[in-house]
Amino acid sequence: MNTLDRKVFRELWLIRGQVFAIAMVIAAGLSTVIMSYSTLESLQQTRERYYQEYGFADLFASLKRAPIKLVQRIKQIPGVVDVDARVKAPVRISLENVDDPMQGLLVSIDHQAITSINKIYLREGRMPDKNLQTEVLVSEAFAQPHDLHAGDVMQIIVNGRKQTVHIVGIALSPEFIYQIAPGVIIPDFSRYGIIWMQREALETAYDMKGAFNDLSIKLTLEAKQQLIIQQLDSLLKPYGGLGAYDRELQVSHHFLSEEFKQLDSMGSSFSFIFLAVSIFLLNMVVGRIIASQRDIIATLKAFGFSNRVIAFHYSKLIALIVVIGMVIGITAGLILGNNLAKMYMEYYRFPYLDYQLQIKVIVYSAGVTLLAALLGTYISIRKAVLLQPAEAMRPEIPARYNVTFLESLGIKKYLSQPSRMVLRHFERHPIKAILSVLGTAFACGIMIVGTFFMDAMDYMVETEFKLSQREDLMVSLINPSSYKAIYELNNIEGVLRVEPYRSAAVKMYAGSYSHRTSIQGFSKNNHLHRVLDIQNKPVNIPETGILLTAFLAKKLQVQAGDQLTVEFLEGKRLTRQLQVAGVINQYIGLSGYMDIDALNQLMLEGRVVSGAYLAIEDGAGYNTQAYLKGLPQIAGVSEKKSLIESFYATVGDFILTYIAFVTGLSVAIAFAVIYNNARITLAERTRELASLRVLGFTRGEIAYILLAELGLITLLAIPVGLLIGYWMSYGFIVGLQQDLFRIPFIIEMPTYAYAILVVICSAIISGLIVRHKLNQLDLVSVLKVKE
């Protein structure tokens, strides 16, 4: 190793504190990028592989009932490779010792017609024996929370009839990666399960002898999906077809796609912000380290080292720091990514995880960081080597200080001489001061972006569940039925209030835009379940027209007063025109809202309800639920309390875990930046402070000058940082709007306070370290050496 290289390592060691801090900033930036993209890529690859290996269908359709011989005609549609015609039936599940109402979906498995579509992956046990009609498979998502295994027994109620079934295996299917009950947004794994049953057994239980009500279709690669959907629709219409759809509308696939989109959006926003901030900070620090070596650079030049060699020498120093950061960042990113992906695996039921290393992402992000650092080095070095060595070795011209603006305002007499020094130093080096303030401000801002999510989630839940959905229970009926059901519900003990609703699956069209969703019909004077306007004030449901979730209105490009075409996917399957009466605020889900009577009229149905919202007496929850669970016409009962719980346990959990990682990283950045600032300021001002010591200033007094400067930087940085945090968070939210939910832009005071606290604590710790260093310095000897 030559002497110049030895200098690199010596100096690296000498500024190890700073090196570590800079490396942390780089590591934070890189690990965010790597964590986000490797998680996303892993999940996407896993899904892709799973779909392929287990034959996830391309088209889906549900219908009322069609004879099995129809399958032959469907198979003849050009482009269709294979068809799986099954029976699916809603089911209620009873487990010993579990009182919660549980629902599920029964899916038929056919031993005669083996298809390659939506194949089952057995996690444990075996497939049901074709001769034993009571054998079933249970989905892993449902089995786990109840600790169900092969060999266990449970009771199910199909079509009002109770029967006992034997679990012989725990299964996964590409159809149910995201296991969620129809019509809900938040999965509740313990209260909704998938059960696979022998076709014959299910046909008998659900009165579907020789018929099917569900289609999965595999297409050739070149098949024209839209054309086939049209053909299917006309073929299935006489059999109560609800409209064929592609993967995009398949519930599990749709939710997964939405969540991947969200992960992608979070990942790219955070990655961009973190990488940009760490590159900015890196350049700031590099510039100052090189500036502090100005005279050494001049000396090297005096010995005859060429500019190129000197630039290369410093590039090595910086590159090493970056490499240290990279190693930490890449390692941390991979570990965090792997853990995050594993956590997602708890919710997405994949049989395996293909963890992706994402070499490309690593190479790109590390490359960008290194290039940016080297560019910064180059710029700083260029400035240093362009000076004639003689000039660079001369002490810098004493800076021209002025009486500062603040002092000129007349507060001079209140300022001590050291305070004036601090202020003048600030005004004399405005760019340096601005950069220091900006660096600290970014650290502060990044804290806000990291933590405001919790506020937003809380606000979202608060608004949705306390202002809008104020019911205790939501009851859904197996089939839309007459108003009589409402009176019956009203008579149940413990029920205080019942508000009916009608829900209808529709496809909305406006111009060239369309969206498949549902319309909810409410009573005019709903008290429990309300819709809120943009200011979150309750809105009365208009007698005519439809209210749309603002995000849906935007998707369809309509506003109040516009016409909308609505195609009902159930009942008489009418297509109607509706006027948009207004837009409403809704953070979770997308829907249209109408008056219940108007909706029934539109569908040409009588006074029909799909279910009801219930308020129940305090403490009556358990009994009431148990009673409701026993009623045959009730498809499901969902409790708001457990809805909120499962929201935090699933959707919330994803985001919050991610955020926890990010917050940790932003604390690291904040500290690293502030500490670096402090160390560089100390290095730059040592001589000046030493002179003051010699003049008789105490250690405390000179520490004041340094610390007051740091304090001033910190104080100025905080408001700027809060603003930066505000805008970065806003940019973030905009990128996160999606069908599933829209996170509101809310930053609460404690989040600001938390950011401020971290910045101030970092400043205090850095200040203490710097003060310690200052006390340790043999200040008098500093003066002996030339500047």
Partner 1 sequence: MNKQVVFQTQAITRHYEMGDMVVHALRGIDLELYAGEFAVILGMSGSGKSTLLNILGGLDLPSSGQVYYQDLELSQASDKELTDYRRHHVGFVFQFYNLIPSLTALENISIVTEIAEHPMQPEHALELVGLSDRMNHFPAQLSGGQQQRVAIARAIAKNPSVLLCDEPTGALDIETGITVLETLDVVNRELGTTTAVITHNASISDMAHRVIYLNDGQISKIQQNETRISPHQLSW
CB of 455 to partner 1, least distance (A): 48
301 part of the interface to partner 1, by CB under 8 A: yes
Radius of gyration for the alpha carbons in the chain, expressed in angstroms and rounded: 33
CB of 385 to partner 1, least distance (A): 9
CB of 785 to partner 1, least distance (A): 7
221 part of the interface to partner 1, by CB under 8 A: no
Name the β-bridge partners of 217. Answer: 59, 83
Name the β-bridge partners of 566. Answer: 508, 576
- Measured from the CB atom, is 392 or 599 closer to partner 1? 392
Provide φ and ψ at 8, rounded to 5°: -55, -50
CB of 301 to partner 1, least distance (A): 7
Dihedral, CA of residue 679, residue 681, residue 687 and residue 692, to nearest 10: -110
| Cβ neighbours of residue 177 closer than 8 Å, sequence gap 6 or more | 47, 50, 252, 253, 256, 348, 349, 350
684 part of the interface to partner 1, by CB under 8 A: no
- Measured from the CB atom, is 23 or 317 closer to partner 1? 317
- Measured from the CB atom, is 392 or 608 closer to partner 1? 392
Task: Assess contact for 741 and 456: CB atoms under 8 A.
Answer: no
CB of 7 to partner 1, least distance (A): 5
Which of 134, 144, 307, 737 contacts partner 1 by CB under 8 A? 307
Task: Assess contact for 548 and 600: CB atoms under 8 A.
Answer: no
Q: Considering only residues 1 through 40, tell me which ones interact with partner 1, judged by CB under 8 A.
A: 2-4, 6-7, 10-11, 14
CB of 681 to partner 1, least distance (A): 19
CB of 261 to partner 1, least distance (A): 51
- Measured from the CB atom, is 11 or 233 closer to partner 1? 11
- Measured from the CB atom, is 302 or 753 closer to partner 1? 302
Which of 129, 391, 488, 543 contacts partner 1 by CB under 8 A? 391
Select from 245-253, 304-312, 664-672, 720-728 the region that touches partner 1 (CB under 8 A): 304-312
d(CA 17, CA 12): 9
d(CA 252, CA 176): 6
CB of 683 to partner 1, least distance (A): 12
- Please tell me what DSSP assigns to residue 529: B
Dihedral, CA of residue 762, residue 768, residue 770 and residue 775, to nearest 10: 180
- Measured from the CB atom, is 391 or 617 closer to partner 1? 391
Which of 114, 359, 749, 785 contacts partner 1 by CB under 8 A? 785
Neighbour-count burial of 420, counting CB atoms closer than 10 A to its CB (0-12 exposed, 13-18 middle, 19+ buried): middle
Q: Which long-range contacts (CB under 8 A, 24 or more apart) does 620-625 make?
A: 620/493, 620/494, 620/495, 621/472, 621/473, 621/494, 622/99, 623/493, 623/494, 624/473, 624/492, 624/493, 624/494, 624/495, 625/99, 625/100, 625/101, 625/473
- Measured from the CB atom, is 303 or 405 closer to partner 1? 303
- Measured from the CB atom, is 428 or 516 closer to partner 1? 428
Which of 97, 303, 405, 696 contacts partner 1 by CB under 8 A? 303
Name the β-bridge partners of 580. Answer: 546
Which of 94, 134, 204, 299 contacts partner 1 by CB under 8 A? 299
- Sign of torsion, CA 441 442 448 451? negative
- Measured from the CB atom, is 130 or 394 closer to partner 1? 394
Task: Take residue 444 and report the two structure tokens written for it.
Answer: 């502060």
String of contacts with partner 1 for each residue 259-298, x by CB under 8 A = ------------------------------------xx-x
DSSP per-residue codes, 279-339: HHHHHHHHHHHHHTTHHHHHHHHHTT--HHHHHHHHHHHHHHHHHHHHHHHHHHHHHHHHH
Select from 392-400, 502-510, 596-604, 679-687 the region that touches partner 1 (CB under 8 A): 392-400
- Sign of torsion, CA 653 655 658 663? negative
Provide φ and ψ at 622, rounded to 5°: -65, -50
CB of 400 to partner 1, least distance (A): 6
Task: Take residue 744 and report the two structure tokens written for it.
Answer: 């509101």
Name the β-bridge partners of 502. Answer: 521
| Cβ neighbours of residue 457 closer than 8 Å, sequence gap 6 or more | 652, 655, 656, 743
CB of 298 to partner 1, least distance (A): 8
- Measured from the CB atom, is 115 or 691 closer to partner 1? 691
CB of 282 to partner 1, least distance (A): 22
- Measured from the CB atom, is 5 or 207 closer to partner 1? 5
Number of residues lying near partner 1 (CB under 8 A): 29
Q: Which helix (H) or strand (E) holds 154?
A: strand 153-158
784 part of the interface to partner 1, by CB under 8 A: yes
- Measured from the CB atom, is 11 or 567 closer to partner 1? 11
d(CA 129, CA 109): 11
CB of 786 to partner 1, least distance (A): 3
Task: Take residue 210 and report the two structure tokens written for it.
Answer: 């020789």
Which of 132, 302, 371, 757 contacts partner 1 by CB under 8 A? 302
Name the β-bridge partners of 481. Answer: 609
Decide: helix, strand or coil at residue 592: strand
Strands across the sheet containing 80-86: 80-86, 211-219, 59-67, 245-246
- Measured from the CB atom, is 3 or 525 closer to partner 1? 3
- Measured from the CB atom, is 121 or 305 closer to partner 1? 305
Which of 112, 147, 304, 577 contacts partner 1 by CB under 8 A? 304
CB of 706 to partner 1, least distance (A): 21
- Measured from the CB atom, is 12 or 723 closer to partner 1? 12
382 part of the interface to partner 1, by CB under 8 A: no
Q: Vertex 220, ends 217 and 226: CA angle to 5°?
A: 70
CB of 21 to partner 1, least distance (A): 19
**Block residue for tokens 């969540």:** 259
Which of 388, 417, 544, 559 contacts partner 1 by CB under 8 A? 388
Number of other residues whose CB lies within 10 A of the CB of residue 691: 14
Q: Considering only residues 393 through 412, tell me which ones interact with partner 1, judged by CB under 8 A.
A: 393, 397, 400
Interface residues toward partner 1, by CB under 8 A: 2-4, 6-7, 10-11, 14, 295-296, 298-299, 301-307, 388-391, 393, 397, 400, 784-786
